[in-house]
Structure 1
Amino acid sequence: MTKTINEQLAAMRPWCARKAEAMLPQAEVPDAVQEALIAIWKASPRVRPGRDPWPLLTVVARQEIARHARRFYDANVLDRIDEKKDADLPTAELMPASGDGELSFSPRIAAALATLPERQREILLETVAEGRTNLAAASLLGVSEARVRASVARSLELLRAALAEEVPA
């Protein structure tokens, strides 16, 4: 039994929303989902009769959501760079004022973070502390997603080692 295009779009909407939520701020999710559904609608004639449409349509949706994320983060990257230039001290990023949903680290964690190279610390804070996906952090910082993934792994290893040294045996 083949699904109509409306049934396919209804089935794809929750999947698209989950993917968009993983890559974008909540305010951008509806726009990304709408763009993905339009791309699915345009791609649906390419589905061969008798074939499962899900593989093709998920690829189309994933590409459209990633395209939306790139446009969003490219547009906001200059604003973020200006905000970072305005920080008074490098330690301001490590220990922002607590309250109002801002990050706050214990002195022990802040000291361990201070041992990281600046770029690794920046990537780690964008992904782990700010909760961004690797793709979102990569777009924001102007590096590849693979570099973000590798940098986070190295940073976490260094943090574990730095924190392990502090614990008395």
Structure 2
Amino acid sequence: MTLKGDPDEALVARIGRGDQAAVQSLVARKLPRMLQLAQRMLNDAAEAEDVAQEVFLRAWKQAAGWTPGAAKFDTWLHRVALNLCYDRLRRRREHLMAEPPEQVDTGPAPDRGLLAADTGLRVSAALAALPDRQREAVVLCHYQDLGNIEAASLMGISVEALESLLSRGRRALRAALADLRE
């Protein structure tokens, strides 16, 4: 069954035929979202750039064999990005250290009086502190603007399970950022 209205279908076909302009168009359209997704999942800009680069490399390699099917190409790109993020998160946990890393003061610098910047950092830190699956659900639905059905499908879970993850994630974020509401 082919999905009707996949906006990327023709573009992917052109990439599969070696059309450089199509590659540039795909990257221009999708790069910001892939970077945002990886940045929010990994909380590291350099790693996010590496993930985004690998996503587009895989898209380029797979384009010739892409068969439109049950999922949109954009959904496939998100799944690749998430898998690459999880690979990196697993490697972080597996990396054992002889000594704990030096702790960096993540609080606002004395000369930074910009409340908005501080709030953004606090939100990013609270998001990074969520369990992986809750963070994934929040990022997909609230930052990547995916609907619950598409996000649940992408995560391989039911819509009810997604809504449960979203609820727990939102509750944890509210608790971590409660002082900002005052």
TM normalised by structure 2 equals: 0.45
Greater RCO structure (CA 8 Å; 6+ sep)? 2
Report the structure number with the largest CA radius of gyration.
Answer: 1
